[in-house]
Structure formats: C-alpha cells, structure tokens
Amino acid sequence: MIVELIDGDDFRARLTALGIDIAEGADPDTCARIAAQAHQQKAIPELPALVNDLMTQQNILLPSVRHAIERFLPL
C-alpha cells in the first residue's frame, strides 16, 4: 500500500484553494505565515477547519508542514 504524504506542495495547494495568494514553491513556513496574515486581515472561515483536518492526519503530515502549522497557525 502506498500512502500519499502531505508535503509542502500539498499544503500550499490547499491554502491557495481557500483563496490565499501564495507564490509557487513557497516553503511550509512561508505558506503558514502568509495564511495567518491573510486570516488576520480578513477572516477565512475555512482555514480553521483545514488546519484541524491537517493536524488530525499526523501520520501522513510531513514534519515540516506540522511544525509550520504549529508555529504560525495555532487557530
């Protein structure tokens, strides 16, 4: 069985799907920081649910993404 891990590109794609403008190739820390700033400027109602969903998938969430969420998006 092959498991698809949630990496920085997946994280960025999920954030951009919420309408957050993040440059291609941005690392997880940058993605999380930009998402937090965007949420502070104009609440993004779907962001807390996305963060919660990602954090419940610890077994497939890469550590770099988990650390970025914990550091910048403790919603």
pLDDT at 71 over 70: yes
Please compute the mean of the pLDDT values over residues 11-36 and round it to a whole number. Answer: 98
Distances (CA, A) of 26 to 8, 10, 31: 8, 11, 6
Question: N- to C-terminal Cα distance for the chain?
Answer: 33
Domain boundaries, the chain: 30-75
- pLDDT score recorded for residue 74: 87
Please compute the mean of the pLDDT values over residues 4-18 and round it to a whole number. Answer: 97
Mean pLDDT over each residue of the chain, to the nearest integer: 95
List, as own/partner pairs, every contact residues 8-16 make where C-beta atoms lie below 8 angstroms and the sequence separation is at least 24, other chains included. 8/62, 8/64, 8/65, 10/65, 11/54, 11/65, 11/68, 14/50, 14/54, 15/50
- pLDDT score recorded for residue 1: 61
